[in-house]
């Protein structure tokens, strides 16, 4: 065999091995749907806390303290929910 043919055969072997390795894809660490929903979870918790706080303020006449407190609790709830959803083992 000539040297050029040997080089082509070695290159073909390397390509075949690379293609075989490429078929073993690495799964992403987090599911895309869970990362997409993280922003909606946070916003929903804050808005929900704000709505509850607003109605509590109207009921008890404590404007704006229940609103502020419930928005803060909603923020903490949203962050905690995102944290625990990212800690769940992936399938």
Q: pTM of the entire structure?
A: 0.60
Per domain, the residue ranges of the chain are 3-87
What are the pLDDT digits (tens) for 16-71?
A: 888 877 666 655 555 666 667 888 989 999 999 999 999 999 999 998 999 999 99
Would you tell me how many other CB atoms lie within 10 Å of the CB of residue 70? 22
What are the pLDDT digits (tens) for 79-90?
A: 998 888 888 665
- pLDDT of the residue at 25: 61
Residue 3 has pLDDT above 90, yes or no: no
- pLDDT of the residue at 76: 97
Contact 29, 90 (CB under 8 A): yes
């Amino acid at each position: 065999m000539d040297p050029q043919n040997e080089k082509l055969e070695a290159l073909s072997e390397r390509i075949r091995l690379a293609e075989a390795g490429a078929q073993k894809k690495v799964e992403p660490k987090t599911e895309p749907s869970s990362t997409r929903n993280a922003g909606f979870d946070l916003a929903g918790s804050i808005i929900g806390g704000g709505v509850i706080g607003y109605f509590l303020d109207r009921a008890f006449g404590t404007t704006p303290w229940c609103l502020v407190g419930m928005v803060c609790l909603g923020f903490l709830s949203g962050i905690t929910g995102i944290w625990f959803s990212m800690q769940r083992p992936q399938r």
